[in-house]
Structure 1
Amino acid sequence: MNAAIKLTKDDAQIGYILKGYPRTSETFITNEIRLLEKMGVGLSIFSVKKLEGQKNHAMVKDITAPVTYLPQADALSETRFSKWLIDNVPKFSNSHAQLFKKKPLAYLKVFLECLIMSIQYRTGFFELPREVFVKEFLQAGFIANAAMESGNIQHFHAHFCHGATTIAMFASRLTGIPFSFTAHAKDIYLKELNPGNLLQKKMRRAEFAVTCTGANEWYLKQLAPKGAIIHKIYHGLDTKLFSNSDQEAADKQEEKLPVLLSVGRLVEKKGFDYLVKACAILKERGRIFQCQIVGGGDSDVTEKLVRLIKDLDVEDTVNLYGAVTQEELRDIFKQATVFALPCLVVDNGDRDGIPNVLVEAMSMRVPVISTDISGIPELIDNNVNGLLVPEKNAQAMADAIERLLMDSALRQQLVEAGRNRVCKDFDSQVTTLDLKDLFVSRLADRSEVLHECCAGH
């Protein structure tokens, strides 16, 4: 890397393409942006959706990067496509007209590719074209034109390798600006999100790809051996913010009523129904405790959990709470005796990578229990810094919870090892530095190429 290259907010910038910003459940992205800025990387954020009713974490106030919200396109499912086009194309027409004037050949090539993709990636031979690619092309054109007008965006980076990365790929083809992406969980494994060979195509065209677990890294390398270089970078955590003194942890163990905590979006892959069943088993055994499940999410999953809690007669034991900010969550962790998250692989392939709440709990010196799927064993070493049980097994989950509730010495052993594990490999100051180095090397290379081009003239 050229040491003379310095990145500032007025110089070379990364255009971050997100489906929604700031999203309460995506603290790892918000923290990543905050730390990259702190490390001197210039950023511009493009948010496809303008989110309403979100709880913002305190760190959002520290981010100074400009945020551009795209024109809000209607949902494709709410009307006929012809009507959708009439209602939504005008929102993007000015940007596309300007873009066509600047780069007509590139524009026509990408538009043709968009149409081909909409036919190529249909769900069946006799099915209608996939209209979402037209929507993403319109959105990409808006970003591409904005990037060309700004003149200082030299790289696009998208989070999640389905919609946001499709937009980044189109914007890259329209402008010649390279792109990369971070792949996380269901965006990797659900075929309907990247039908056919679409994910492989993105991997071949990207400058590089990042993913948050070794399990994901292995899968992506097998999927596209000749694709972009895959970099495993764990989601980092502010270990200073998520900390709990030894004395506070010790005092917590002396509480009369143990608190079993679980945190996450109320979606199927979190396995909360198995946690509720485990609580019912423990109640039958005469164990007295309180279980708190914290997090908003899917209304259908929430309704099923409410019914299950009632059917199993654990309404006096299990309580559901809505989404909270990081600051509120820290206080909740301080009251927890045990943290349990029974993650599972859904029938359609959806799964977690390494849930951030597990890292947060371990950093807060709360003993953790989870399942031995996906990237979770990369964080939790069974019987060393936490406990692992098989997925979809309420009996095993109940046994593990009971073991920790009854053994204070084991809890203390696990929490110290857990805190050490997080500080060693999941501190965001270290993990974000790895990402920053990737961006800096790309921007430096591109700056050198631009400098040589300009010198040639």
Structure 2
Amino acid sequence: MQNHDNQAQVAYILKGFPRTSETFITNEIHLLETLGLKLSIFSIKQLEGQKHHAVVDQIKAPVTYLPQADDLTGRSFWVWLSENLPKFTASHGRLFRKRPIAYLGALLECFSMSIKYRESWLDFPRTVFIKEFLQAGTISEAVLQNPTIRHLHAHFCHGATTVSMFASRISGLPFSFTAHAKDIYLKELNPGDLLQIKMRRAKFAVTCTGANQQHLDACKGSEIAVHRIYHGLDTDLFVPEPREQSAADAVPTILSVGRLVEKKGFDYLVRACAILRDRGIKFNCRIVGGADKYAQVIKQLIADLDLQDLVSLPGAVTQEELRGIYQQGDVFALPCLVVDNGDRDGIPNVLVEAMAMEMPVISTDISGIPELIQDQVNGLLVPEKNAAAMADAIERLLKDQALRQRLGQAARQTVCRDFNSRHTTVALKNLFDACLAGEMVEAHVYCAEHS
């Protein structure tokens, strides 16, 4: 990859690009570019079958897709290595000749990590680090060929950040990362003290909620600045149209949006729908989002509760299609929960989107959600894993149009004031500018404080 523009730039290292469920990343990249930051994108995976958001076409940054390494799961490592090593051999050979000491140091650390972070002393080395080292080598060679790239930034602090850390050690470039949800809380994604090592070496860390910031501050073990910068939303893009007065006999729509994964709590929404049906409440419910392995649980529950005529699963849509869907909904419900393994959402972006569209929202009082929703002020909060409480809140909103309107208007005011991406992205741009200029990054200077 050659770039003849002399302006310093940041390399974004992502697991996959563009990913339908990660509009917050594509929007962030686009807004950073509009603010004047030069970027290059490295995508570890080349995604197929993903819906395409319009903002992707506006991104100018070149995208480099790494050689596609096969999945390690359920395979002999030696067979995997024999099939995949040739994809990386040439770039690693050139890299070794160019920076032998740095290369060998990173390679030795890779081997050390694969042994250190085994589940037990009797287990085979943790080979995922070898895969990530191979991927880091491809990125290292590319950034060394492009002297305008002076900083590496990864989204999610497990795999992509491990790759960035290796690439940083080989290339000598500083790195930073944005942490989100399960990448923080699931220990198997950062076993042992790996997260602390990443935080110690990173120039800075960003996370999207105050709850995450407190968690990272508590476990960092270093002086790294952890910045809370909300993802934000383009409030000029998500603008509600005037809602017409519903006819007295109109059937209201309960809307929810998100990947069909356990932490979204959709099974509790489905159970809440069964409670509402049994109370004689008229409604239909649409759960819009891409299928995941948990989707079958939701589908089976809908069938078991005989809700096929009331609850539908339309599948994933683009951000442009979603705006129209929000306009059609009467109540937005997202019963997020903390999974037994610790996985949870931060502040779901769909809640911010729904609130920007003046929808009255109901969610749970976990993680960063209370940073967005004030109960009875701009939405309703209920306890997690409580279908009856969710049903009560939905029924209350369906029966009180004035409350829906008041909460919806307050919801948009909150988003425009505290979650406007044009403000939050400036804070992130300032961090990158400081790094590119070789300045120290101080948390109290650059942390976005809009709440």
Indicate the TM-score class for this superposition, using the shorter chain for normalisation: over 0.9
Tell me what 1:5 maps to. Answer: none
Tell me what 2:304 maps to. Answer: 311
Counterpart pick for 1:123 among 101, 119, 122? 119
Q: Show the 5 A alignment for 1:376-395.
A: 376-395=369-388
C-alpha contact (below 8 Å) 2:233/2:420 kept by paired residues: yes
Counterpart pick for 1:219 among 215, 235, 238? 215
Q: Is 1:21 aligned to 2:17, yes or no?
A: yes
- Relative to structure 1, is the Cα distance of residues 150 and 290 closer, same or farther in structure 2, using a 3 angstrom cutoff? same
Counterpart pick for 2:178 among 167, 172, 182? 182
Q: Is 1:238 aligned to 2:234, yes or no?
A: yes
Task: Give the TM-score, by structure 2 length.
Answer: 0.95
Q: Show the 5 A alignment for 1:29-40.
A: 29-40=25-36
Distance in 2 of aligned mates of 1:358 and 1:346: 19
Tell me what 1:102 maps to. Answer: 98
Per the TM alignment, residue 322 of structure 1 is displaced from its structure 2 partner at its CA by 0.6
SS of structure 1 residue aligned to 2:154: strand
C-alpha contact (below 8 Å) 1:252/1:337 kept by paired residues: no
The one-letter amino acid paired with 2:436 is: L
Distance in 2 of aligned mates of 1:179 and 1:285: 55
Tell me what 2:193 maps to. Answer: 197
Tell me what 1:350 maps to. Answer: 343
The one-letter amino acid paired with 2:236 is: K
Per the TM alignment, residue 51 of structure 1 is displaced from its structure 2 partner at its CA by 0.1
The one-letter amino acid paired with 1:363 is: A
Tell me what 1:206 maps to. Answer: 202
CA displacement 1:399-424 (0-9 Å, x = unmatched): 00000000111111101110000000
Gaps of 5+ in 2: 441-451
Counterpart pick for 2:267 among 268, 273, 278? 273
CA displacement 1:297-321 (0-9 Å, x = unmatched): 213x211111111111211111111
Per the TM alignment, residue 82 of structure 1 is displaced from its structure 2 partner at its CA by 0.9
Per the TM alignment, residue 227 of structure 1 is displaced from its structure 2 partner at its CA by 4.3
SS of structure 2 residue aligned to 1:60: helix
CA displacement 1:34-63 (0-9 Å, x = unmatched): 001111100000000000000010000000
Tell me what 1:416 maps to. Answer: 409
Question: What percentage of residue pairs aligned between the two structures are identical?
Answer: 65
C-alpha contact (below 8 Å) 1:272/1:341 kept by paired residues: yes
Distance in 1 of aligned mates of 2:111 and 2:225: 28
Identify which range, 69-78 or 134-143, moves more after superposition: 69-78
SS of structure 1 residue aligned to 2:153: strand
Distance in 2 of aligned mates of 1:239 and 1:255: 33
Tell me what 1:442 maps to. Answer: 435
C-alpha contact (below 8 Å) 2:5/2:148 kept by paired residues: no
Identify which range, 302-311 or 370-379, moves more after superposition: 302-311
Distance in 2 of aligned mates of 1:273 and 1:423: 31
C-alpha contact (below 8 Å) 1:200/1:227 kept by paired residues: no
Q: Show the 5 A alignment for 1:36-435.
A: 36-245=32-241, 248-251=242-245, 256-299=250-293, 301-435=294-428
Distance in 1 of aligned mates of 2:6 and 2:257: 39
Tell me what 1:4 maps to. Answer: none
Per the TM alignment, residue 225 of structure 1 is displaced from its structure 2 partner at its CA by 3.9
CA displacement 1:2-50 (0-9 Å, x = unmatched): xxxxxx9642110000000000000000000000111110000000000
Distance in 1 of aligned mates of 2:127 and 2:429: 35
Identify which range, 224-233 or 102-111, moves more after superposition: 224-233
Distance in 2 of aligned mates of 1:422 and 1:335: 20
CA displacement 1:94-134 (0-9 Å, x = unmatched): 11111111110111111000000000000111111000000
The one-letter amino acid paired with 2:16 is: G
- Relative to structure 1, is the Cα distance of residues 252 and 46 closer, same or farther in structure 2, using a 3 angstrom cutoff? farther
CA displacement 1:206-225 (0-9 Å, x = unmatched): 00000000000000000114
Distance in 1 of aligned mates of 2:239 and 2:196: 40
- Relative to structure 1, is the Cα distance of residues 253 and 229 closer, same or farther in structure 2, using a 3 angstrom cutoff? farther
C-alpha contact (below 8 Å) 1:259/1:291 kept by paired residues: yes
C-alpha contact (below 8 Å) 1:367/1:418 kept by paired residues: yes
Distance in 1 of aligned mates of 2:74 and 2:331: 44
Distance in 2 of aligned mates of 1:443 and 1:125: 42
Distance in 1 of aligned mates of 2:244 and 2:338: 35
Distance in 1 of aligned mates of 2:362 and 2:77: 47
The one-letter amino acid paired with 1:109 is: G
Q: Is 1:12 aligned to 2:8, yes or no?
A: yes
Distance in 2 of aligned mates of 1:438 and 1:400: 41
Distance in 2 of aligned mates of 1:253 and 1:69: 52
Identify which range, 428-437 or 221-230, moves more after superposition: 221-230
Per the TM alignment, residue 228 of structure 1 is displaced from its structure 2 partner at its CA by 1.5
4+ runs deviating over 3 angstroms:
250-255
The one-letter amino acid paired with 1:270 is: K
The one-letter amino acid paired with 2:392 is: D
Per the TM alignment, residue 196 of structure 1 is displaced from its structure 2 partner at its CA by 0.1
The one-letter amino acid paired with 1:280 is: A
SS of structure 1 residue aligned to 2:51: coil
The one-letter amino acid paired with 2:148 is: N
Per the TM alignment, residue 78 of structure 1 is displaced from its structure 2 partner at its CA by 4.6
C-alpha contact (below 8 Å) 2:351/2:361 kept by paired residues: yes
C-alpha contact (below 8 Å) 1:208/1:229 kept by paired residues: yes
Q: How many residues align?
A: 437
SS of structure 2 residue aligned to 1:182: strand
C-alpha contact (below 8 Å) 1:253/1:337 kept by paired residues: no
Backbone CA RMSD of aligned residues: 1.4
SS of structure 1 residue aligned to 2:189: coil
Distance in 1 of aligned mates of 2:90 and 2:221: 40
